[in-house]
Structure 1
């Protein structure tokens, strides 16, 4: 009887040691759920990363990097992440503020070198902070791919770039705001925009990515696919990674900046974006390297008003994960959808990127992002 009990104990111990642990079973469950979400919403590829206690605990990719070649998507592939890029521009500005090279309250006209004034309120100064918080009263109606759109010396219709409300007393999300901000980064730092971000954010954090297509390995670009809502088909969007080699040859520092799209042109992987996100979650510091001060990080994360919930390229929302107030940003362009959100007190965060999916939304979030984030939260973090 004693020998039988010993044998039984050995068998139970062996089973415990060799059976998949809870972590492994959670991982299998999460991946099955994510693939189900992809199938339901026609996602081509999906790349995710999860941070817990300020550490990257999970990173994985699913689906295809490129449909035409049937190449699988991997964690090393990089995406043009669209509007999450704005936070890199804002982080750069905060570095320059700390270096006393500018102030958030500076008159933007003085910073950019031409008149930036709402014609309905010509005496009202439009500050740098107003542009960064989308309260400048500037809009994208004249386009945002070059600064001529809002320059009175270049565009006879420059007045159309302004809304009817007084600067600082209304909100409209505007891409031109951040292309203008990128030009100021060049003017006050003396470095070309893409190089500044590389030297002062990416390199210190040991991240692979950037705004300049020619400086990156094109074989790592995940092809982006735009969805045709009429024919229900996907088409590749090569413009997402269009090289601007000829334009760069004639580059004018502090004016040609939209070539690199400070408002949306960062290319980076989900796992490296998660490391950058962790820096913001930890109030400007990652693995002993301080990128911005605690004061700057808090300011970026502080919403300008309860109506918009937008700070300086960081959005606050309680609509993403039930019961949690999250901070971060989304992106959408060329068929891509991206999300980077963290919970600063509980020290967790999630990055989700898809290179193409059905454009369905709930509570203002693309469904692939929303469902994937909640699946990852429930599996790894709850």
Structure 2
């Protein structure tokens, strides 16, 4: 009897070893391919995370966190992730909508506290939903780092912030939309923007992340490198993590919000971003923690225009991985390129972030990012 049990144990061990070898072979192939992709596009560092059947099955970091000091990149390091940050702002808005504190159809002028109207269409109300979906008719021609640019009392050229088409009738991706949205989060919640996100999104999910530089360990910041095509060289971009302490010292609630960049200023690791992605994949729930209702999570992901595929801080794409429809967002700023895409039905998703590369683009995607996502999907999910 003991010999029988022992032999069964050996069989089980052999099966586990066989499965592990297959898994290791797939991982090894993916890692080899990503290293080749990095070499092809002069990638400095790349962090990745893969979710399958709602579980993080793989995380890894390649290359360097800091070139000057030859510091390797690790899974614990955090990046400023650029425009994926918009989804944190939109999720915060959905929480406030769910709580009955505002409506997606609200007149944005009433929410922000000054007139937001396209001068060519003064009777057309610009709604919160239009702002979230980049259909507000606003543009970034006057900048987006201060609300003064669109405030008629502060900028004589405020009208230049608007395009010539009617709000709701056209699309233009616009960072100013989301810096304004961050301001509304403050006005409605009574909490400073970075604190609201920390208290209502990050803490409940157990994520180490944030918009405020001084609330995080600066030793974890990944140096971002901008590529110069003319010289084929990189230079670091320290302003990505500028603490802006003086501006924060003189902070005006409900107006100074762009200091934290609701449109692009989230700092987080690829691994924690994958946990956040899993929440969206499960329509507002993460490991039993409800961040928002299924109804509002689905609203965020439901595209408003077939042409652009944009919803509310989420995009639907069918050309990132050929033949598959995915939800998510990309980001690019200061030399960083990031992507977070998932399939809410099949319960898988991929996060890829690089702190610097030669940014060759195809079909609207940074080639390094797209090639890495396809490799991870083929080897670890498919």
Interval containing the TM-score (normalised by the shorter chain): over 0.9
Q: 1:17 deviation in Å?
A: 6.9
Q: Distance in 1 between the 2:25 and 2:99 partners?
A: 49
What is aligned with 1:324? 324
Going from structure 1 to structure 2, the CA distance change for 1:317 and 1:217 (only over 3 Å counts) comes to same
Deviations 1:312-350 (A, max 9, x none): 000000011111100000000000000000011110000
Which aligned pairs between 1:265-280 and structure 2 lie closer than 5 A?
265-280=265-280
Are 1:69 and 2:69 matched, yes or no?
yes
- Partner-residue secondary structure (3-state), 1:58: strand
Going from structure 1 to structure 2, the CA distance change for 1:14 and 1:283 (only over 3 Å counts) comes to closer
What is aligned with 1:358? 358
Q: Distance in 2 between the 1:224 and 1:47 partners?
A: 13
What is aligned with 1:179? 179
Q: Distance in 1 between the 2:45 and 2:284 partners?
A: 31
Q: Distance in 2 between the 1:183 and 1:215 partners?
A: 20
Q: 1:362 deviation in Å?
A: 1.2
Q: 1:363 deviation in Å?
A: 1.1
Q: 1:229 deviation in Å?
A: 1.2
Q: Distance in 2 between the 1:221 and 1:314 partners?
A: 26
- Partner-residue secondary structure (3-state), 1:51: strand
Q: Distance in 1 between the 2:258 and 2:304 partners?
A: 26
Q: 1:290 deviation in Å?
A: 0.6
Going from structure 1 to structure 2, the CA distance change for 1:56 and 1:13 (only over 3 Å counts) comes to closer
What is aligned with 2:207? 207
Q: Distance in 1 between the 2:117 and 2:17 partners?
A: 69
Q: Distance in 2 between the 1:17 and 1:145 partners?
A: 54
**TM-score (normalised: structure 1):** 0.96
- What is the root-mean-square deviation of aligned Cα atoms in Å? 1.4
What is aligned with 1:5? none
Q: Distance in 1 between the 2:15 and 2:248 partners?
A: 61
What is aligned with 1:289? 289
Deviations 1:49-102 (A, max 9, x none): 000011100000000000000000000000000000000000000000011111
Q: Distance in 1 between the 2:75 and 2:284 partners?
A: 25
- Partner-residue secondary structure (3-state), 1:176: helix
Q: Distance in 2 between the 1:17 and 1:207 partners?
A: 32
- Partner-residue secondary structure (3-state), 1:378: helix
Are 1:220 and 2:220 matched, yes or no?
yes
Q: 1:16 deviation in Å?
A: 7.2
Q: Distance in 1 between the 2:244 and 2:213 partners?
A: 8
Q: Distance in 2 between the 1:89 and 1:36 partners?
A: 35
Which aligned pairs between 1:1-382 and structure 2 lie closer than 5 A?
21-382=21-382
Q: Distance in 1 between the 2:210 and 2:227 partners?
A: 26
Q: Distance in 2 between the 1:14 and 1:267 partners?
A: 42
- Partner-residue secondary structure (3-state), 1:223: coil
Going from structure 1 to structure 2, the CA distance change for 1:16 and 1:363 (only over 3 Å counts) comes to same
Q: Distance in 1 between the 2:334 and 2:75 partners?
A: 20
Q: Distance in 2 between the 1:99 and 1:108 partners?
A: 18
Q: Distance in 2 between the 1:140 and 1:168 partners?
A: 17
Q: Distance in 1 between the 2:13 and 2:365 partners?
A: 46
Q: Distance in 2 between the 1:13 and 1:276 partners?
A: 35
- 5+ residue gaps in structure 1? 1-10
Going from structure 1 to structure 2, the CA distance change for 1:253 and 1:377 (only over 3 Å counts) comes to same
Q: What count of residue pairs does the alignment treat as equivalent? A: 372
Going from structure 1 to structure 2, the CA distance change for 1:149 and 1:28 (only over 3 Å counts) comes to same
Q: 1:308 deviation in Å?
A: 1.0
Going from structure 1 to structure 2, the CA distance change for 1:16 and 1:116 (only over 3 Å counts) comes to closer
- 5+ residue gaps in structure 2? 1-9
Q: Distance in 1 between the 2:279 and 2:15 partners?
A: 38
